[in-house]
C-alpha cells in the first residue's frame, strides 16, 4: 500500500495504523514521489492519496493512473478536506475509487481500506480466471502445447512476415510412429502418457521463440522462424533423437517411441507468392515420404515431392 501525504505527523499516524492492521506500507510526502512508486513493475495496488500535495496533487495523480494501460488495477482512496458535492464528484471523475473527508474516524478508514482490498481480491480472482480461459482456448488440454487453431494462426502470421521480409522460415510436421499399436496393446492411458512425454521433449528441444503445437491425434507441428534449410535438417534430427534415444516410462511400461518428421523451408518454395496451406501441404508430403522410407527418420520436402504425392 502507498500513502502519499505531505503532513509528516498525519503521514506517520496513517502509516502506524495501517501497519498495525497488517499492511506493508510505502510512505511518501509528495505527488511526484508517489507517481514514481505507482509506476514500478511491482508497485502498490492500493494507494491513499492526499488531495492537496506539492508537485502533483491527488486528483492529477488519479488522472495519470487511469490514463495509462495497467494491469493489475490500482485502487485509489482520496483524502480531502473538501466536502462539498462538486469537489467529491471531481475526485471520483478523475479516477478515485473512494474518498474520505478529513478529519475522519479511524474505524471508517479501516472499513474503507478493507472494502478496497475486497475489490482487489475479486479482481485477482477474475484475472486468474481470465488467464485460465485464455490458456484453455489456445492450448491442447492433454499435452499443454499450442492447439491446432493457435499453431495454425502462428503459421499464418509467420508466412505473412516471411513474404514481407524474405527471412528464413522452416516447418516440421512430426508423427509418432505406430501410435495406434501403442494404444491397442498398452491402452489409451499409456498412449496419453506417450503423447505428453513426446510433447514435453519437443517443447524442451526448441528455442524459446519457436512454436510447437499438437496438429491432431499423434501429429505435431514445429514452426521454426529464422531457420534456413540446412539448419532445419539439423534441428529436426535433434528433435527426432530427443524422442527416440530414451523410451517413455508409463504405467510401469517402458515404451520405445520414434518420430517420422517431414520438413520444408521457405527458401525451397522460390520467389512466387505462396500460402500457409502450401507449406503445410509440402511438410505433409515430406512426412509421408519419411514414413514410406521406414519411419524414424527426417525427410525433406519440395514442390516436386508434393506433386508426386498428390499424383500417387
**Catalytic sites, residue numbers:** 218
> In 3-state terms, the chain is what percent helix, strand and coil (to 5)?
50, 20, 30
Judge contact between 112 and 98, C-beta under 8 A: yes
103 cis-preceded (ω within 30 degrees of 0): yes
> Any idea how long the chain is?
312
CA–CA gap between residue 59 and residue 50 (Å, rounded): 9
CA–CA gap between residue 122 and residue 118 (Å, rounded): 6
CA–CA gap between residue 142 and residue 286 (Å, rounded): 26
Query: What is the enclosing helix (H) or strand (E) of 95?
Result: none
Per the rule left: phi > 0, alpha: psi between -120 and 50, beta: everything else, 306 is alpha
Q: How many CA atoms does the CB half-sphere of 297 hold within 13 Å?
A: 12
Alpha helices by DSSP H, the chain: 8-20, 31-38, 58-67, 85-94, 106-138, 148-165, 179-186, 188-204, 229-244, 276-292, 303-311
Amino acid at each position: 500500500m502507498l500513502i502519499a501525504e505531505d503532513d509528516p505527523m498525519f503521514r506517520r499516524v496513517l502509516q502506524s495504523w495501517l501497519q498495525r492492521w497488517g499492511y506493508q506500507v510505502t510512505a511518501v510526502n509528495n505527488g511526484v514521489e508517489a507517481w514514481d512508486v505507482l509506476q514500478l513493475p511491482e508497485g502498490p495496488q492500493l494507494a491513499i492519496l492526499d488531495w492537496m500535495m506539492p508537485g502533483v496533487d491527488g486528483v492529477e495523480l488519479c488522472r495519470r493512473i487511469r490514463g495509462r494501460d495497467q494491469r493489475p488495477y490500482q485502487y485509489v482512496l482520496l483524502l480531502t478536506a473538501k466536502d462539498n458535492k462538486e469537489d467529491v464528484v471531481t475526485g471520483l471523475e478523475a479516477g478515485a475509487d473512494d474518498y474520505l473527508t478529513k478529519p475522519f474516524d479511524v474505524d471508517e478508514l479501516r472499513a474503507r481500506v478493507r472494502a478496497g482490498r475486497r475489490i482487489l481480491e475479486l479482481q485477482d480472482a477474475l484475472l486468474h480466471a481470465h488467464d485460465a480461459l485464455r490458456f484453455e482456448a489456445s492450448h491442447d488440454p492433454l499435452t499443454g502445447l499450442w492447439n491446432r487453431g493457435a499453431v495454425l494462426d502462428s503459421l499464418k502470421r509467420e508466412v505473412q512476415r516471411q513474404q514481407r521480409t524474405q527471412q528464413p522460415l522452416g516447418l516440421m510436421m512430426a508423427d509418432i510412429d505406430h501410435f495406434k499399436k501403442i494404444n491397442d496393446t498398452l491402452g489409451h492411458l499409456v498412449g496419453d502418457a506417450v503423447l505428453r512425454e513426446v510433447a514435453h521433449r519437443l517443447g524442451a528441444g526448441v528455442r524459446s521463440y519457436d512454436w510447437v503445437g499438437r496438429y491432431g491425434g499423434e501429429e505435431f507441428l514445429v514452426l521454426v522462424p529464422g531457420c534456413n534449410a540446412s539448419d532445419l535438417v539439423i534441428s529436426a534430427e535433434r528433435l527426432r533423437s530427443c524422442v527416440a534415444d530414451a523410451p517413455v516410462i508409463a504405467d510401469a511400461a517402458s515404451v520405445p517411441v520414434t518420430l517420422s518428421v517431414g520438413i520444408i523451408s521457405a527458401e525451397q518454395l522460390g520467389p512466387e507468392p505462396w500460402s500457409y496451406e502450401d507449406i503445410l501441404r509440402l511438410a505433409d508430403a515430406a512426412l509421408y515420404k519419411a514414413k514410406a522410407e521406414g519411419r524414424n527418420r527426417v525427410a525433406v520436402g519440395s514442390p516436386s515431392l508434393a506433386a508426386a504425392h498428390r499424383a500417387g
